[in-house]
Structure 1
Amino acid sequence: MKKLLLFLIIPVLSFGQVGFSFITSESASIKNLFIKPVGQGANKPVMIIDKDGDIIFSENLGMKGWDWKVNLNNHITYYDRQENSWHVVDSLFNTVDTVFAQNGYTADNHDFLALPNGNYVLFCYDNQIFPMDALVNGGDPNAIVEGLIIQELNSDHEVIFQWESWDHFNITDNTYLDLTSNNLQFIHTNAIDIDYDGHFLISSRNLDEITKIHRTSGDIIWRWGGSQNQFEFINDYPFTHQHCIKSLGDNKYLLFDNGNFSSNYTGNPDVSRAVEYELDLDAMTATKTWEFIHPDSLFSPSISSVQRLDNGNTLVNFGNLSLLDRGAVITEVNPENEIVFEIELDPPSNGNSGNVYCANKFDWFFDQSIVGCNNTNACNFNINVINNDMNCFFPGDSCELFVSGELVSGILDANCECVLNNTYIKETTNNRKLLYQVDLLGKDDQQQLLQLNIYDDGSVEKKYTIK
């Protein structure tokens, strides 16, 4: 069984390693922020950050953790890039299911839906050899062409729906590619959602297209954007290389427009934005009803995300600002486009990655009711604990007690009593500087009984105050 380890200490240490600036206001959502830095850096923990900017959970999962989020079944899900699977995790951080693509395909890491009824929706890239010389002059007869597979699985991981792009998309739908190339990634789907009527929505970056697909027949219901666009854009220019399609209901949709070719329409430098549309299926129009462009005119050419929050605010993740030598900027704005919450990661450096694939806020945290110290030798052993959070304290650990009305340092003796021990105090406090004094949630609070003192030499002391 996987444990929720190092819950108290890692958030403090990860804060210094990852690094970010933070602003907030009373108008911001009080939900927790879920992010995972991505890219070339080694330090890429999954993190949960509370409304005050405190990291309340952080763990480096190595090759795991892509698309870290709370899914529709109220479980955390994330992708394992080593075994190409999706992990479903409960409130005790135990993996309760591992989901692979079926029928010989390999699951892609961009998006995954875990539905309340126990079903799963994922997609895969399907690379096949295609004779491009039969399609265009100078085409490679053995070109590798990317296809797309969408699968819906039941709770037993049996395929109940499979959709193949080969039956619906043409390679020439992509107007950017050199069709004489030997490797043609012409679709690059990066997001999937379920529309208000139960059918699938997919975002295909390399097609500049949002596609609606019938969930049982597999027929394409409509195509929006790109060379096969069926809608007239009203009050707007077309999105390009977009991410993160979200259905808002009633033919209203929210997406992150990376804007890689926005300059072709605006005459200004490329800029990224969050944008909302309303589709009229009779008039076949797509009317822009809202957009947010950051005051710094940020341009994120890849990754990135957007989320409409239940308080009416919108969370916008400008995930890749490496061209600007900046880390990801995650901004929450109210309906008037006023910034009410913002985190900016430090730029990539010293093995750290400043990019963020997706960012979401959820009213969710791990179950702490049975998380604690289950070490029978510890002074704070709790027989009811199932998951050990590593916050045990033992005889020999430092503590604090009141003597003549003053709080002084002591040590836990063999009976777990806090007693004076001047020799111990002298040895453990010499030539050290106290950096942090935090409570069980990693917050600066000196009123708690159990505290962690973190020093500049890397040592950590647990102190228990007896009042």
Structure 2
Amino acid sequence: MKKLILNTINFLSLLFFLLSFQTAFTQVDYIPEEIPDYSINVYGDAHPGYIFITPAPAVAGFIDPKFGGVLLITDSIGNPVWYYYAEMTNGKPYQFAFADFNVFYDGQMSFGAFNERIVLDTAFKIIDTLICSSSLLTDNHDIIRTSDGHRHMLCSEFRIMDASALTTTNGLTGDTNAVVEGAVIQEYDATDSLIFEWKSLDHLSLNEMVDSVNFHQPGIVDFTHHNAIDIDHSGNYILSCRHLNQILFIERATSNIKWKLGGKGSSFTLINDSVEFTSQHDCRFTNEGNITIFDNGTYSKPAIGRMLEYHLDTINWKATLIWSYNNTAGVHSGSRGNGQKLENGNRLINWAFALPWDSSISIQEVDSLGNIVLDIDFMKGVLSYRAMKFNIPFKLDRANVAYDSANKKLYCDSNFILQRWSTGDTVNPVKIEQAGDYQAWTSSGIGYLGSKYFRVEDPFDSSWTDMITGSSARLNWTPIPGVLSYYIAIRQVGGSIIFIDTETVNSSYTVTGLQPESSYDWSVKALFTAKSSLFSLNNCFTTNNLTSLADNARSDLLSIFPNPSMGMLTIKSIEPFSEVELYNSLHKKVIAVRSIKSEISLDLNKLQPGLHILRIRKGEEWISRKIVIMSN
């Protein structure tokens, strides 16, 4: 089990728990160890639904070579909900990184692996394996099942052809008997009978391949490198051909290519787009009849990844770019990736193989104005072929979790087979020692389904750090009546835990002997005559090189008023702050402001009354306060 970094709710993070006064702290984990580490940042309202992802290693050597592939479903903001882990096969990871994971209209799901399409029912059990007929190779990139029960398969065929008119990247002439791979689309009806077949090599010539950039061996030609299909309301197809830098429109009734967008012999003049898309993945029809494309931008000038939406005028043959979003790191995506237009106008963009890893976010959701709503970022060397958000037409049967506060134990519903808790424990019930969010993982078909997070409330109204120097910091918390003393656990990140019995009822403690410019975690619990509270939610701070307590005290002067508030909330600080976030009682971010200011007013009029958590970032430190919104 490993930690999922939830930057939207770090103030709710549960980093460690105490088994007893004498035992050591153990780091609490959020996601099963089979899922690669990733972080989440939420900046606005994400579109509802579940995100289907296939995180897997991109290039050998980046991560543990034992890591296989994962099918992962998250909630709308990236919290893990269901997963299946496939171990290494013949020394290679299960190839989910090269295939999509999607949902059919009836709720059945499909994923591609080893040139097969595996179908799951709504209980995540395998119920079918789909392949192409006529000795064709089933392609992992895409599949569509329409509401009439027909399935539309993307396949590959191989022909011996004369490629002598082509020149490889290193200047060699193509073989006269080269093996050429071309795209095939097959349609099967509800009885699994093949009723339609279209082959690209019957309609395209090899000289339509874009120069020699994708031709490396004289005897092998990956001609179209087809990677996506979609169907319009009349049953016509669009097909993405990466090696042609082109989207083809295939008329179902005649099998003819009605038009080409991009590449050699494009039918359209591009409007509002001076950068032609190259090496694209993923083409989709929108509800408005437009077309979206994920532009990898490998050979574009400048080379930059983009999500695009075109309006096509097939009378005047103009393709007008009406919406686009560039990779915020300004880099292109070497391979894979996709973009999805959501029902509320947001776009979900999977940047996939965007290098350098440290510059580009893995997956983003942006609104129609290009404002970032959600960032999901996987560890270095891990990517997903696609990321798609679906409103699944069935209810997930997730286990319930209950809490026995008297004995500090969490119980998982006995009707489910418990595999593990988010702490890593496998016993039911499990004893806990710290406030925070907990999750139970239970068996579900071929994988595991997580319960909804169960919140164990913080016994302290708030806790914070101030008076930070290069070697000390003051730890603060709201007092609890009847306490004998407070017990603190603190550690330098990556180091050992230090336990401190304050031996007083004071609600602050100055810890000394810290290392400069180092990050620390700490938590506090209250000791009574015959019992103790849970540990508080974790606090984080980073020391600096300042030695003057006066300087640090001045930087922490913070005013928040009025609290409770009936409409407007004002925040004032001597030193400027860079971020302000407000979360409601359901842990959903409802306000996010990112700018360097020393005073700001927040309009709370549209928010629901009740308890909220305010987070303010000053430098590397986050300060949390409880805010009450009252009805006006």
Fold shared per TM-score above 0.5:
yes
User: Displacement of 1:204 after TM fit?
Assistant: 0.3
Q: CA deviation at 1:331?
A: 0.8
Query: How many residues get paired?
Result: 385
| In structure 1, C-alpha distance between the alignment counterparts of 2:428 and 2:278, rounded to whole Å | 59
Kept in 2, the 8 Å contact 1:327–1:345? The answer is no
5+ residue gaps, structure 1, are: 1-10, 349-353, 383-387, 401-408, 410-428, 448-455, 457-467
Q: How does 1:137-148 map to 2 (within 5 A)?
A: 138-148=173-183
Matched residue, 1:193 = 230
Q: Whole-Å Cα distance in 2 between the matches of residues 435 and 220 of structure 1?
A: 61
- 2:197 alignment counterpart: 162
2:40 & 2:55 partners in 1: Cα distance? 16
Task: Describe the superposition over 1:84-142 as per-residue Cα deviations: whole angstroms up to 9, x where unpaired.
Answer: 21122121012232211011112111111122211111121212221334889944122
Other-structure match for 1:23: 41
Residue by residue over 1:208-230, the C-alpha shift from the partner in whole angstroms, topping out at 9 and shown as x without a partner, is: 11001111321111111111211
Aligned: 1:254 with 2:292: yes
Which residue in 1 is equivalent to 2:82?
57
Counterpart in the other structure of 1:45: 70
Corresponding residue for 1:423? Answer: none
* Aligned partner of residue 380 in structure 2, secondary structure: coil
Residue of structure 2 equivalent to 1:331: 364
One-letter amino acid of the structure 1 residue matched with residue 337 of structure 2: S
Q: In 2, Cα distance between the equivalents of 1:331 and 1:180?
A: 36
Letter in 1 for 2:333: S
Distance 1:343 1:226 in 2: 32
Taking a change above 3 Å as real, the CA distance of residues 399 and 360 of structure 1, as seen in their structure-2 partners, is closer
In structure 1, how many angstroms separate the alpha carbons of the residues matched to 2:37 and 2:134?
42
Counterpart of 2:546 in structure 1 is none
Asked whether the equivalents of residues 399 and 412 of structure 2 are also in contact (C-alpha less than 8 Å), the reply is no
Which protein has the larger Cα radius of gyration, Structure 1 or Structure 2?
Answer: 2
Matched residues in 2 for 1:391 and 1:324: separation? Answer: 33
Alignment match of 1:105 (pick from 106, 121, 136): 136
Distance 1:295 1:166, change over 3 A: closer
For the residues of structure 1 that align with 2:413 and 2:142, how far apart are their CA atoms? 42
Match of 1:274 in 2: 307
Taking the aligned partners of 1:141 and 1:357, their CA distance within structure 2 comes to 34
The corresponding residue for 1:445 is 455
Alignment correspondent of 2:90: none
Cα 1:179/1:61, change in 2 over 3 Å = closer
Note the 1:82-231 alignment, pairs <5 A: 84-133=115-164, 138-177=173-212, 181-231=218-268
- Listed one character per residue, the Cα deviations across residues 442-461 of structure 1 (whole Å, up to 9, x for unaligned) are 625227xxxxxxxx9xxxxx
Query: Relative to structure 1, is the Cα distance of residues 64 and 271 closer, same or farther in structure 2, using a 3 angstrom cutoff?
Result: closer
- Taking the aligned partners of 2:82 and 2:190, their CA distance within structure 1 comes to 29
Given candidates 362, 371, 383, the residue that maps to 1:355 is: 383
Equivalent residue, structure 1, for 2:110: 77
Change (3 A) 1:79 1:372: farther
Distance 1:13 1:397 in 2: 17
In 2, Cα distance between equivalents of 1:59 and 1:435: 29
1:62-94 CA-partner distances (Å, limit 9, x unpaired)? 43643112134432110121xx21122121012
For residues 22-79 of structure 1, give each alpha carbon's deviation from its aligned partner in whole angstroms, at most 9, with x where no partner exists.
Answer: 1114421122211111335524311111134321112213436431121344321101
* Residue 318 (structure 1) aligned with residue 343 (structure 2): no
Does the CA-based 8 Å contact 2:420-2:427 persist in structure 1?
Answer: no
The 3 A distance-change label for structure 1 pair 100 and 29 is same
Identity fraction in percent:
27
CA deviation after TM superposition for structure 1 residue 326, in Å: 5.7
The higher relative CO (CA closer than 8 Å, separation ≥ 6) is in: 1
The change in CA–CA distance for 1:328 and 1:116 in structure 2 (over 3 A counts) is: farther
Change (3 A) 1:369 1:335: closer
Contact 2:305/2:330 (<8 A) preserved: yes
Distance 1:327 1:99, change over 3 A: farther
**Alpha-carbon distance in structure 2 between the residues aligned to 1:208 and 1:135:** 17
Inter-partner Cα distance in structure 2 for 1:398 and 1:250:
51
**2:107 touches 2:122 (CA, 8 Å); kept in 1?**
no
Alpha carbons 1:72, 1:116 under 8 Å: kept: yes
Give the partner amino acid of 1:89: L
For residues 333 and 295 of structure 2, what CA distance do their matches in structure 1 show?
A: 9
1:201 match: secondary structure: strand
**Equivalent pair of 1:371/1:389 in contact (CA under 8 Å):** no
Q: 1:158 to 1:127 in 2, by over 3 A?
A: same
1:336 alignment partner, SS class = coil
Return the letter of the residue paired with 2:183.
Answer: L
Q: Distance in 1 between matches of 2:217 and 2:373?
A: 49
Aligned partner of residue 301 in structure 1, secondary structure: coil
How much is the aligned-residue C-alpha RMSD, in angstroms? 3.2
CA distance in 1, matches of 2:378, 2:349: 14
8 Å CA contact 2:327–2:360 kept in 1: the answer is: no
Find 2:32's aligned residue among 14, 19, 22.
14
1:372 & 1:79 partners in 2: Cα distance?
Answer: 32
Q: TM-score, normalised by structure 1?
A: 0.74
User: Does the C-alpha gap of structure 1 residues 397 and 123 become closer, same or farther in structure 2, counting only changes over 3 Å?
Assistant: closer
Deviation, structure 1 residue 13 = 3.6
Q: Give distance in 2, aligned partners of 1:235 and 1:52.
A: 32
The AA in structure 2 aligned to 1:51 is S
* Cα 1:55/1:279, change in 2 over 3 Å: same
Tell me, yes or no, if the aligned pair for 1:35 and 1:47 is still in contact at 8 Å.
yes
Whether the 8 Å contact between 2:272 and 2:320 is mirrored in structure 1 is yes
The superposition leaves residues 292-328 of structure 1 with CA deviations (integer Å, 9 ceiling, x where unpaired) of 0133213212100000111110111101124445675
What secondary structure is seen at the aligned counterpart in 1 of 2:286?
Answer: strand
- The answer to whether the Cα contact below 8 Å between 2:203 and 2:257 also exists between their aligned partners in 1 is yes
Q: Which letter does structure 2 place at the counterpart of 1:255?
A: I
2-structure distance, mates of 1:301, 1:366: 36
Unaligned ranges ≥5, structure 2: 1-28, 88-93, 402-410, 441-450, 458-493, 495-632
For residues 81 and 292 of structure 2, the distance between their equivalents in structure 1, rounded to whole angstroms, comes to 29
Please say if 1:390 is aligned against 2:421.
no
**Structure (1/2) with the larger strand percentage:** 2
**Which residue identity is paired with 1:156?**
T
Contact 2:69–2:95 under 8 Å retained in 1 = no
Q: Secondary structure at the match of 2:260?
A: strand
Tell me the secondary structure at the aligned position of residue 172 of structure 1: helix
Determine if contact 2:245/2:277 at 8 Å carries over to the other structure: yes
Aligned to 2:392: 364
* Contact 2:436–2:455 (CA under 8 A) maintained in structure 1: no
In structure 2, relative to structure 1, the CA distance for the partners of 1:399 and 1:214 (3 Å cut) is closer
